[in-house]
């Protein structure tokens, strides 16, 4: 499990060689000393297993399902990626619960600097219409593994906007992101559980049952 707070970035040294499962190699100076073989690392929000490490190179296995649902197969050599190691029971959960299971991809359609005391960046990302049910104002969302808060959204245009503070913009891959590039999206797990509960209890859902399900 991850928090969506990115403390490391890496560079693609060897991209995936095909559309099916395979290995991807990422260069990073610090993580080889931290992560053991068999350990997990979120790469642009996708939880991958470390299979080899040598000096500053990390090799990860990527499954066919992850390739299908994420942008990993489209990352080229030299591309900057976000890296996060799992949180521990004693970690401060400053972001939100991120599982590293990418739901879909989105496309950056707008990128604007918001002038003010501390300049922030407003990004608008378009997703498939079917996923808009998981988007709520002030809700949490992971974009390329980064824990962000949804500022607003448009159901008709199936997009949402987020504000990026300077620290996040400068210390993640977002500053390298160009218009119309794709990003990995993971929606809040609580929203997905509620959606599943609604599907299962379309005709007899009550507030008491919802409270029992959520444990509140």
C-alpha–C-alpha distance, residues 77 and 44, integer Å: 15
Average pLDDT score over the chain: 90
**CA-based end-to-end distance of the chain:** 22
pLDDT of amino acid 61 = 95
Where does 8-84 sit in CATH, by number? Answer: 2.40.30.20
pLDDT of amino acid 90 = 64
What would the DSSP string read from start to end of 129-158? GGGGGG--TT-EEEETTEEEEEEEEETTTT
Q: How far from 171 is each of 111, 156, 175, 201, CA to CA, in Å? A: 17, 33, 8, 43
pLDDT > 60? residue 120: yes
Residue 183 tokens read as 């990003």
Please state the rounded mean pLDDT for residues 15-44: 92
pLDDT > 60? residue 1: yes
C-alpha–C-alpha distance, residues 153 and 159, integer Å: 6
Of the chain, the percentage scoring pLDDT greater than 90 comes to: 75
pLDDT > 60? residue 216: no
pLDDT of amino acid 203 = 62
What's the length of the chain?
216
Q: What does the pLDDT look like over 165-211, one tens digit per residue?
A: 999 999 999 999 999 999 999 999 988 888 887 777 766 666 666 66
What backbone torsions phi and psi does residue 143 show, to the nearest 5 degrees? Answer: -115, 115
Please state the rounded mean pLDDT for residues 82-103: 84
pLDDT of amino acid 116 = 65
Please state the rounded mean pLDDT for residues 48-61: 95
Q: Which residues contact 10 (CB under 8 A, 6 or more apart)?
A: 26, 27, 28, 31, 43, 58, 80, 81, 83
Of the chain, the percentage scoring pLDDT greater than 70 comes to: 89
pLDDT > 90? residue 126: yes
pLDDT of amino acid 134 = 94
Q: Indicate the helix (H) or strand (E) that contains 85.
A: none
Where does 104-194 sit in CATH, by number? Answer: 2.40.30.20
Stretch(es) of the chain classified as CATH 2.40.30.20:
8-84, 104-194
């Amino acid at each position: 499990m991850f928090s969506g707070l990115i403390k490391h970035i890496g560079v693609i040294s060897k991209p995936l060689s095909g559309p099916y499962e395979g290995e991807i190699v990422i260069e990073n100076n610090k993580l080889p000393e931290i992560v053991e073989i068999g350990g997990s690392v979120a790469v642009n929000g996708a939880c991958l297993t470390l299979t080899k490490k040598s000096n500053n190179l990390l090799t990860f296995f990527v499954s066919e399902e992850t390739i299908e649902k994420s942008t990993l197969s489209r990352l080229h050599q030299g591309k900057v990626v976000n890296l996060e190691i799992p949180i521990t029971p004693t970690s401060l959960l400053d972001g939100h619960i991120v599982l590293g299971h990418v739901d879909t991809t989105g496309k950056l359609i707008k990128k604007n600097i918001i002038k003010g005391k501390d300049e922030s960046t407003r990004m608008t990302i378009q997703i498939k219409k079917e996923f808009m049910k998981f988007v709520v104002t002030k809700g949490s969302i992971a974009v390329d593994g980064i824990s962000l808060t949804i500022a607003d959204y448009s159901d008709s245009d199936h997009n949402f906007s987020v504000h990026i503070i300077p620290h996040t913009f400068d210390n993640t891959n977002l500053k390298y992101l160009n218009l119309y590039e794709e990003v990995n999206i993971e929606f809040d797990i609580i929203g997905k559980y509620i959606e599943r509960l609604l599907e299962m209890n379309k005709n007899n859902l009550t507030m008491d049952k919802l409270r029992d399900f959520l444990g509140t």
